[in-house]
Each structure stands twice: as C-alpha cells, then as structure tokens.
A = this chain, B = another copy of it.
C-alpha cells in the first residue's frame, strides 16, 4: 500500500475506534455479572477477535477512564495478591440508559453506511 494510503487507513481506524471501543466496553460491562478490571475486559474482547479486530489493552484504559468521567461507569480499587491494586469497573444506571441509546445510534449509522457503500446512489 502507498504511504498516503497507509496513513489514511491508520487515521480511519483510529477515528472508528473512538466511538466503537466505548460502545463495546459498555456492552461487555452491561452483560457481566460482576465488576471487571481492565485485563479481564481485554480477555473477553480477545475471544471475539476471530472477527479480525484487535483492540490493544493500552487502548482500553483511556476509554474506561473517559466513561467513568462521563458517569457511565463506576469503579472501586481492590488490592491484589499478585501485584498492584486493581480497578474494578461496573456500569451505572446512566451507563445502561446510554448503552441503549448508543446501540440505536450505531444501528442507524451502520445502516446508513451500508446503504451508501452498496451504492443505491
């Protein structure tokens, strides 16, 4: 791929990730029976990676912090026997409401992009 194309692809993936990673994190925490810390979330996402998408663990942390700052997640820190303390995240009531609304936005955007790509016009 040319250098121009390569840089454009990285930019696009980064932009697409900005919203979708947050959506995916809320969704994983919505379905979890107990609070999860970063590494556990990364593990659950890895199991989905057969689809070819790789989300690096380093990508998760800023998004988790941003979701907490928005009031969509809450967290508590607990000591770990095997290393530094762990920060466990749970979804909040606002987070559950927002996940529903985001899912709706996602579905509409997806339909719009698909229609355009398939090229009715």
User: Is A121 in the interface zone, CB < 8 Å from B?
Assistant: yes
Bound together, the chains give a CA A13 to CA B23 distance in angstroms of: 11
* CB–CB A51/B112 < 8 A: yes
Q: A2-B94, A97-B1, A120-B48 are in contact. Are A23 and B27 (CB under 8 A)?
A: no
User: Is A5 in the interface zone, CB < 8 Å from B?
Assistant: yes
In the complex, the count of this chain's copies comes to: 2
Q: A108-B51, A108-B52 are in contact. Are A16 and B13 (CB under 8 A)?
A: no
Question: Which B residues lie within 8 Å of A53 (CB)?
Answer: 108-109, 111-112
* CB–CB B24/A19 < 8 A: no
* CB–CB A18/B20 < 8 A: no
* CB–CB B4/A94 < 8 A: yes
Q: How near does chain B come to A102, taking the closest CB pair, in angstroms? A: 5
Q: Which residue of B7, B27, B120 contacts A119 across the interface (Cβ within 8 Å)? A: B27
On A, residues with C-beta under 8 Å from B are 1-2, 4-5, 7-9, 11-13, 15-20, 22-24, 27-28, 31, 44-45, 47-49, 51-53, 70-72, 94, 97-98, 101-103, 105-106, 108-113, 115-117, 119-121
